Homo-oligomer: A and B are copies of this chain.
Amino acid sequence: MRPLPQPARESLTLPPVLHALGDPVRLELVRRAWARPESSCSALADGLNVALSTLSNHFRILREAGLISMTVDGRHRRIRPRADDLGDRFPGLIEPILRLSAAESVNSDPR
């Protein structure tokens, strides 16, 4: 299991986090990652009509903003939400966003 590089908790800043969340596909991926920690990239993207290269870019943006951790595990990439880091740096931020995005989601029953 090899972790991909990510920003340290103390260097997280608000604009990149909001930017990362400001895309419908990324917002849905975050919602699913929070609902199902330790999922693979492909499991989280299930049913989203997005090209692999685009998806890979979305996960990179989420990782670089500090929203998720990614580890390479053989042929799989595992996604872990950085819930503790975000809660520490930005208390009260992610909960309303997840709640509101669930209400807007076209697929509110992620597998």
Which residues of A approach B to under 8 Å, CB–CB?
A: 13-24, 27, 90-93, 96-97, 99-101, 104
Contact = CB atoms under 8 A, between A and B. Distances in A.
A22 B24 contact: no
A93 B48 CA distance: 25
A73 to B, nearest CB: 30
Number of copies: 2
Contacts of A90: 96, 100
A23 B14 contact: no
Given A18-B27, A96-B96, 16 more contacts: A14-B27, A14-B100, A15-B22, A15-B24, A16-B22, A18-B19, A18-B97, A19-B19, A19-B22, A19-B23, A90-B96, A90-B100, A91-B96, A92-B99, A92-B100, A93-B97
B96 A14 contact: no
A29 to B, nearest CB: 12
Nearest to A22: B19
Contacts of A18: 18-19, 21-22, 27, 97
